[in-house]
Amino acid sequence: MDVVPFSAFERLGTLWLPRQATAPVQPEAEPDPIRMIDGRRMQCKDIPDDAFLDAVRRIPAVDGSMKPSGWRTRWNVQAELEKTLGPIPENLFLAKARRLGRRRLLGGCTECTCRGDYHIAADCPYPTCCPPRGA
């Protein structure tokens, strides 16, 4: 009679069944959050201003309209921008939005990491929201 060690069985309710031989699960490797361009880390200057602003224009606003004054969330803008430029680390995307906001090209919440509510500053119908340059 062959003796099978008890550790080769698994209890399932009142039954003891043989354990299934499974290979150890290997965790999936996380993608590298740093993107390299020409042997250096990607920087804000590697994201063209026009490409960023065009991504804001191309996606529908939160209310579903394509109004220029409509608000767009940062996740939708980043997804649209990545379609043309490839993967962009989140912190780099937010830094670019901050720079565009400081230059008064992009309106919305560009200084914090909330949902964004981005819109093109030149198309903003509210004068107190996005004052023009030099004001």
What would the pLDDT profile of 92-134 be if each residue is shown by its tens digit?
Answer: 999 999 999 999 898 888 887 788 888 888 888 777 777 666 5
**Tokens read off for 93:** 């995307």
More confident residue, 74 or 10: 74
DSSP state of 116: -
Name the band, by pLDDT with cuts 50, 70 and 90, for residue 18. Answer: low
Say if residues 32 and 86 touch (Cβ distance below 8 Å): no
Residue 50: the pLDDT is 94
Bridging pattern class, strands 106-107 and 119-120: antiparallel
Question: Of 39, 52, 36, 38, which is closest to residue 93 (Cα–Cα)?
Answer: 52
Percent of all residues in the chain with a pLDDT value above 70, rounded to a whole number: 74
User: pTM to 2 decimals?
Assistant: 0.70
Write out the two tokens for 9. 């069985």
pLDDT for position 66: 86
